[in-house]
Amino acid sequence: MMDVRLNNRSQLAGFAKRDDLKYFSRTLCGMDYEHWPDHAPTREMAGKWSDVSIIHL
């Protein structure tokens, strides 16, 4: 499993935190876990989405 998030230990990640994903990927899927933040969007790119509001129709 390849994790491309910049912050894989955030409280907002819930059960998808780094250590939990390592455990789940190995135990349930038999896969290794790797964190590749170099492939994640930059903070500037992600920051643009924080300004976008969702309109409910």
- Reported pTM: 0.60
- Residues 56, 18: Cα–Cα separation, whole Å: 33
Query: Tens digits of per-residue pLDDT, 1-57?
Result: 889 888 888 777 777 888 888 999 999 999 999 999 888 888 787 676 666 666 655
- Residues 8, 23: Cα–Cα separation, whole Å: 14
**pLDDT on residue 43:** 78
Q: List the domain boundaries for the chain.
A: 2-43
Strand pairing category for 34-35 and 2-3:
parallel
**pLDDT on residue 15:** 72
